[in-house]
Structure 1
């Protein structure tokens, strides 16, 4: 089933994007930027956001458990700043909750937009997702594009392709099929009244994905806006990239058992097929991880057949793997154009080995504490 869902999403994402009409009404908004030790980047993020603000809008930076000059740099760049100091409660969810509560002390704007401190959201994109969220009265996620750093290795280009497919290709396909999308943690807008239906304060590794699932269960599945892009750069260092992938994958995997079942039950009870679709999307593992799972199932089915078992498992596993290869073949020309070359395939074994290690750690000693990803130019960090 996950392979069928992935194939449907990829197939639906193939046609070129056609710009849609921009909703006429622009809501009042606040932009919330959670930042942990981001003194080197926060000024640029604030500078990119300020031109998109209208009179009465707010730009709030939450300097969360910072040990550097993040707060001072954000104030100097023109942002409103609050500082949170609570080492026992670490994680972006706590920073979002702290910032939202600060905003709620005065009249809340209609829409809240969240942008990470290492991301860029152009003024036109900020305007679009805010208008669309207000028009739909629903959370709206911009296309989250992770760019490879300069002179990226083949392994990093492959990782970039996988993230582009996950963050843009698959949500675009889902949108065209009439399905909701997940929240990527940055570049999303949500009507502030909806935030009262969910809890923001948590230290989950995938607090962004969790928030989107909670909103869906509360009756507000997120929508995708491919015309707006929020952009960041993948970490160049192998250790930083591995830490980021571990956090993403362990967080994703830990959410599947509780939320997939809850979404399906809620979808069937309410007669809302969107929630069932969101549950199926949640069960689609990252591309390399899914490939490893399918290959393992094929080996197991082959062993079963060789020992005298039936051939049906082998037929199902073989068909599933063939469909996965088809989806990959369709996705590369569409989402890997200008990014991947034939020689990059030589780095695939190393990428698979790294994912195997991440999965093994999930089975034996899964990560549960949020860890900040190192930025370019930073040395090893224990944060």
Structure 2
């Protein structure tokens, strides 16, 4: 092997490995997980904890729709966090218990959840379900989450999806499809391979005995991901309740870009910090869940994954045309093609309601649309908890 060939393999190997992990997760996630229906425990006390920051425009609608599927005896606690609008007043007027928090130095959803937990500690529920203030659970989801969390005595996560409006353009549809691949298809694959369900910040339930010990008080904008890492390292593997669904209305294209910027910057920052340590901990301790979590964190968001893959495979093919070995380019190209085929199958099985056939042709534009997200990451990651504007 020539020196140039060796350099090509060294450059290609990390990306080839990441695509192999992605293919493994998607392939394992194409089929629904076997489900065991666990009913809510008779007499169990469940609290829906809703952190809300300037949600006056939609909090009444959320509460009304949640009440339609809320089991009797359940409690709703809204944490109005650093609000400059009427969120607290509207939530109270709609029959919710509300506490308000004002602390401009300690801002973020994690601090809001910690504040709510401190309030609950005097009369703790058996189960706490965290729900975003713009998120609606399907009928039966609250019972499934509470029942599963208390039956298994583990954190559990519902499938968290975005619902596009009738006027949503192809960019928003593609973004929602990518969200589904992450929160449904890859979740299934990760759990089936022995990894933890990734907590997504909403539609997640905790037995109080676990919730009271979580490290919540932080400004981390992906506090759910940090909690997943913490729990898995401590030997507590969150579970996926696939029968549970929680939905949020998709934002406009511009607001979706803002939202994805925060999420993906937070994910990439956490992945850089925790992926390799999780892998190492899994190998050292013989802990499959930590090992699989580390592999999962190595895979970047879809647009970045395929942008890096396309740039690298193009470079490798150019070098092979100049006389270098073609094998690195062939292997990477084959893995990218396999990934695209699996995504097409996943779309056919689970994504046709989210992404129209006509919108598929706009995927290259979606990748270009995401480039500013990654350019901003070079300048500095987003760290603020900012409410995403959504249509009614």
Q: Tell me whether 1:289 sits opposite 2:307 in the alignment.
A: no
Matches for 1:358-369 after TM superposition, within 5 Å = 358-369=373-384
What's the counterpart of residue 282 of structure 2? 267
Aligned to 1:324, the other structure's residue is in SS state helix
Which deviates the most, 153-162 or 59-68?
Answer: 153-162
Q: Which runs of 5+ in 2 are unaligned?
A: 1-16
- Residues 335 and 286 (structure 1 numbering): CA distance in 2 closer, same or farther, change over 3 Å? farther
2:70 maps to which of 38, 52, 55: 52
What's the counterpart of residue 190 of structure 2? 174
CA distance in 2, matches of 1:339, 1:60: 31
2:239 maps to which of 223, 227, 236: 223
String of CA shifts for 1:124-150, please: whole Å, max 9, x gaps.
210111110111111100011210122
Task: Give the conservation status (yes or no) of the 8 Å contact 1:143–1:167.
Answer: yes
1:97 maps to which of 108, 114, 122: 114
Task: Give the conservation status (yes or no) of the 8 Å contact 1:90–1:203.
Answer: yes
Q: Report the alpha carbon displacement of residue 200 of structure 1 after superposing the two structures with TM.
A: 0.2
Task: Give the conservation status (yes or no) of the 8 Å contact 1:48–1:123.
Answer: no
CA distance in 1, matches of 2:54, 2:345: 40
CA distance in 2, matches of 1:14, 1:278: 19
CA distance in 2, matches of 1:244, 1:332: 23
Q: Report the alpha carbon displacement of residue 304 of structure 1 after superposing the two structures with TM.
A: 4.1
Q: TM-score, normalised by structure 1?
A: 0.91
Q: Would you say how many aligned residue pairs link Structure 1 and Structure 2?
A: 374
What's the counterpart of residue 55 of structure 2? 38
What's the counterpart of residue 62 of structure 1? 79
String of CA shifts for 1:289-328, please: whole Å, max 9, x gaps.
2111111221232344345544443233223222222222
Q: Report the alpha carbon displacement of residue 246 of structure 1 after superposing the two structures with TM.
A: 0.3
Q: Report the alpha carbon displacement of residue 17 of structure 1 after superposing the two structures with TM.
A: 6.4
CA RMSD of aligned residues (A): 2.1
What's the counterpart of residue 380 of structure 1? none
Aligned to 1:52, the other structure's residue is in SS state coil
CA distance in 2, matches of 1:308, 1:214: 49
What's the counterpart of residue 331 of structure 2? 316
Q: Which runs of 5+ in 1 are unaligned?
A: 378-383
What's the counterpart of residue 128 of structure 1? 144
Matches for 1:1-383 after TM superposition, within 5 Å = 1-15=17-31, 19-23=35-39, 25-26=41-42, 27-50=44-67, 52-55=70-73, 57-104=74-121, 106-122=122-138, 124-236=140-252, 238-306=253-321, 308-376=323-391
Task: Give the conservation status (yes or no) of the 8 Å contact 1:161–1:335.
Answer: no
CA distance in 1, matches of 2:119, 2:37: 34
Task: Spell out structure 1 runs of 4+ moving beyond 6 A.
Answer: none
Aligned to 2:236, the other structure's residue is in SS state coil
Q: Report the alpha carbon displacement of residue 88 of structure 1 after superposing the two structures with TM.
A: 1.9
CA distance in 2, matches of 1:342, 1:198: 43
Task: Give the conservation status (yes or no) of the 8 Å contact 1:111–1:130.
Answer: yes
Task: Give the conservation status (yes or no) of the 8 Å contact 1:141–1:189.
Answer: yes
CA distance in 1, matches of 2:35, 2:235: 27
CA distance in 2, matches of 1:311, 1:262: 34
CA distance in 1, matches of 2:368, 2:140: 41
CA distance in 2, matches of 1:332, 1:203: 35
Q: TM-score, normalised by structure 2?
A: 0.89
Aligned to 2:220, the other structure's residue is in SS state coil
Task: Give the conservation status (yes or no) of the 8 Å contact 1:197–1:215.
Answer: no
Task: Give the conservation status (yes or no) of the 8 Å contact 1:42–1:70.
Answer: yes
Q: Report the alpha carbon displacement of residue 52 of structure 1 after superposing the two structures with TM.
A: 2.4
Aligned to 1:61, the other structure's residue is in SS state strand
Task: Give the conservation status (yes or no) of the 8 Å contact 2:55–2:387.
Answer: no
Task: Give the conservation status (yes or no) of the 8 Å contact 1:221–1:275.
Answer: no
Task: Give the conservation status (yes or no) of the 8 Å contact 2:60–2:91.
Answer: yes
Task: Give the conservation status (yes or no) of the 8 Å contact 2:78–2:96.
Answer: yes
Task: Give the conservation status (yes or no) of the 8 Å contact 1:294–1:320.
Answer: no
Task: Give the conservation status (yes or no) of the 8 Å contact 2:40–2:143.
Answer: no
